[in-house]
């Protein structure tokens, strides 16, 4: 049905390649392109072994718009699935515009020198994509991604009005390292150490990172975890697209060892993003730290336990107050068994594949730049169930609250 180019051969790119290859009737021609072609080749070998599908590989520097445009022009894919780093979002969007190719990513653009996590750079492409008759689908991972769709789905099927949203991301997995990140260390640490922002009555409230925490018990025996309030990019688009929401917050679980190491690294300046002169060289502390930490794509064989990511929504139905929780539980070891990756890469890569499928099958194909929640949630939710991320909706006591 469609030719796709996946850009980025990291933990997430590997899962996207495996999952697309599992659906050869939809993804009829798959190329995995990245800066380091040997990583693409290793993933292609695994894809062939696990699925029997031969995918192509290519060396691409996605920071180079002209070279990427020439490449896309020669290949003429239907779309690019961008799972490189957020720094490449705009250059890839530019190359897609120049060559008439649809676009999808899993994380919003940020400039290298400021950890901002804001959509305005990409939303500014709205007119260009609309005029070109192309779709750009932003944030098609799990969070952002599935969490945005969960919110739309709950609103559509369970509520008349929604009033508050808490996105709760629990990783109950253990990889045995004292400190490691489950996806790109630089992006992960920039996200976690940024000031916390949440929304109340349309206003952005800023508080120190991790200064609010709660205890949350996940369903189905996944366990009870300390969750910490963070800023996460989907809050911005959900606040814009659901103006009726009075309060939007994002929470993530962290273990004590992770927090202890992060605090020390911050205190000594190792998480800084400003270059430091060292022995005649400019070194960015967080980039040096990322080099020392375990590569997230190597965590797969060591990680045991489950993730539980979901949306807790409060609102009303037929005049009565209601609380629903839509969640997805994913087992690290089962993911490794299926595609050779841990659950964080898996839960990101599967929605990226499904988002691409939504465009290819024309469920969500429309000119412009869109966040996930601006689409009909039903075909996406059905595909999550079918392709590895089954979810549940449960009703909680109407007065249930993370604060109670």
The CB-of-267 to ligand NDP minimum distance in angstroms stands at 25
> For residues 135-194, which are near ligand NDP according to CB under 6 A?
141-145, 183-184, 187
CB 93 within 8 Å of CB 126: no
313-352 binders of ligand NDP (CB under 6 A): 344, 348
- Reduce the secondary structure of the chain to three states and give it as a string: CEEEEEECCCHHHHHHHHHHHCCCCCEEEEEEEECCHHHHHHHHHHHHHHHCCCCEEEECCCCCHHHHHHHHHHHCCCEEEECCCHHHHHHHHHHHHHHCCEEEECCCCCCCCCCCCCCHHHHCCHHHHHHHCCEEEECCECCCEHHHHHHHHHHHHHCCEEEEEEEEEEECCECCCCCCCCCCHHHHHHHHHCCEEEEECCEEEEECCCCCEEEEEECCCCEEEEEEEECCCHHHHHHHHCCCCCEEEEEEECCHHHHHHHHHHHHCCCCCCCCEEECCEEECHHHHHHHHCCCHHHCHHHCECEEEEEEEEEEEECCEEEEEEEEEEEEHHHHHHHHCCCHHHHHHHHHHHHHHHHHHCCCCCCCEEEEHHHCCHHHHHHHHHHCCCCEEEEEECCCCCCCC
Q: How many chain residues bind ligand NDP (CB under 6 A)?
A: 34
Q: What is the 3-state secondary structure (H, E, C) of 52-93?
A: CCCCEEEECCCCCHHHHHHHHHHHCCCEEEECCCHHHHHHHH
Judged by CB under 6 A, which stretch of 9-17, 96-104, 122-130, 324-332 contacts ligand NDP? 9-17
- Please, what is the minimum distance in Å from the beta carbon of residue 71 to ligand NDP? 11
C-beta closer to ligand NDP: residue 77 or 296: 296
Burial class of residue 57 in the structure, from the number of CB atoms within 10 Å of its CB (0-12 exposed, 13-18 middle, 19+ buried)? buried
Task: State which of positions 225-244 bind ligand NDP (CB under 6 A).
Answer: none
Closer to ligand NDP by CB, 142 or 216: give it: 142
CB 237 within 8 A of CB 371: yes
Using the rule CB under 6 A, is 30 a contact of ligand NDP? no
Is 86 a binding residue for ligand NDP by CB under 6 A? The answer is yes
Site mask for ligand NDP (CB under 6 A), range 50-79, x = bound: ----------xxxx----------------
CB of 355 to ligand NDP, least distance (A): 10
Q: Among 35, 56, 261, 302, which residue interacts with ligand NDP (rule: CB under 6 A)?
A: 35
Q: Does 38 bind ligand NDP (CB under 6 A)?
A: no
39 is a contact residue toward ligand NDP (CB under 6 A): yes
For ligand NDP, the binding residue among 4, 5, 6, 11 (CB under 6 A) is 11
Q: How far is the CB of 169 from ligand NDP (least distance, A)?
A: 9
The window from 28-36, 124-132, 196-204, 273-281 that contacts ligand NDP (CB under 6 A) reads 28-36
CB nearer ligand NDP, residue 60 or residue 322: 60
- Applying CB under 6 A, which of residues 28, 36, 54, 392 lies at the interface with ligand NDP? 36
Q: Is 13 in the site for ligand NDP (CB under 6 A)?
A: yes
Which of 22, 297, 323, 371 forms a contact with ligand NDP (CB under 6 A)? 297
Which residue's CB is nearer to ligand NDP, number 9 or number 44? 9
Shortest distance in whole angstroms from residue 316 CB to ligand NDP: 30
As measured in angstroms, the least distance from the Cβ of 92 to ligand NDP is 9
355 binds ligand NDP (CB under 6 A): no
310 binds ligand NDP (CB under 6 A): no
**Contact in structure between 230 and 262 (CB atoms under 8 Å):** no
Nearest residue to ligand NDP, by Cβ distance, number only: 10
Contacting residues toward ligand NDP, per CB under 6 A: 7-13, 34-36, 39, 60-63, 83-86, 88, 106-107, 141-145, 183-184, 187, 296-297, 344, 348
């Amino acid at each position: 049905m469609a030719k796709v180019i996946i850009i980025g051969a990291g933990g997430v790119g590997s899962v996207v390649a495996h999952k697309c290859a599992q659906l050869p009737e939809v993804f009829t021609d798959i190329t995995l392109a990245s800066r380091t072609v040997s990583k693409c080749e290793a993933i292609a070998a695994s894809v062939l072994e696990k699925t029997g599908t031969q995918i192509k590989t290519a060396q691409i520097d996605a920071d180079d718009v002209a070279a990427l445009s020439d490449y896309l022009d020669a290949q003429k894919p239907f779309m690019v699935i961008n799972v490189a780093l957020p720094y490449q979002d705009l250059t890839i969007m530019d190359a897609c515009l120049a060559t008439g190719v649809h676009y999808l990513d899993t994380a919003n653009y940020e400039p290298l020198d400021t950890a901002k996590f804001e959509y305005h750079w990409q939303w500014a492409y709205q007119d260009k994509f609309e005029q070109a008759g192309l779709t750009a689908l932003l944030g098609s991972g799990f969070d952002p991604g599935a969490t945005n769709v969960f919110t739309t789905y709950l609103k559509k099927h369970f509520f008349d009005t929604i009033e508050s949203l808490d996105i709760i991301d629990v990783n109950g997995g253990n990889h045995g390292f004292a400190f490691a990140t489950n996806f790109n260390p630089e992006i992960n640490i920039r996200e976690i150490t940024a000031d916390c922002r949440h929304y109340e009555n349309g206003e952005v409230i800023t508080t120190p990172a991790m200064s609010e925490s709660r205890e949350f018990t996940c369903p189905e025996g996944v366990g009870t975890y300390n969750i910490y309030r963070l800023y996460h990019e989907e809050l911005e688009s959900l606040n814009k697209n659901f103006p009726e929401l009075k309060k939007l917050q994002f929470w993530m679980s962290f273990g004590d060892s992770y927090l202890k190491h992060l605090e020390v690294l911050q205190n000594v300046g190792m998480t800084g993003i400003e270059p430091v002169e060292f022995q005649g060289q400019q070194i960015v502390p967080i980039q040096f730290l990322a080099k020392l930490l375990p590569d997230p794509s190597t965590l797969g064989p060591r990680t045991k336990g489950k993730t539980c990511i979901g949306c807790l929504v409060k609102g009303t139905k037929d005049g009565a107050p209601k609380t629903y929780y839509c969640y997805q539980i994913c087992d690290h070891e089962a993911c490794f068994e299926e595609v050779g990756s841990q659950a964080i890469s898996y839960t990101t890569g599967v929605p990226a594949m499904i988002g691409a499928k939504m465009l290819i099958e024309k469920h969500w194909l429309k000119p412009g730049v869109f966040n996930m929640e601006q689409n009909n949630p039903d075909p996406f939710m059905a595909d999550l169930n079918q392709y590895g991320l089954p979810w549940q909706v449960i009703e909680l006591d109407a007065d249930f609250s993370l604060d109670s």
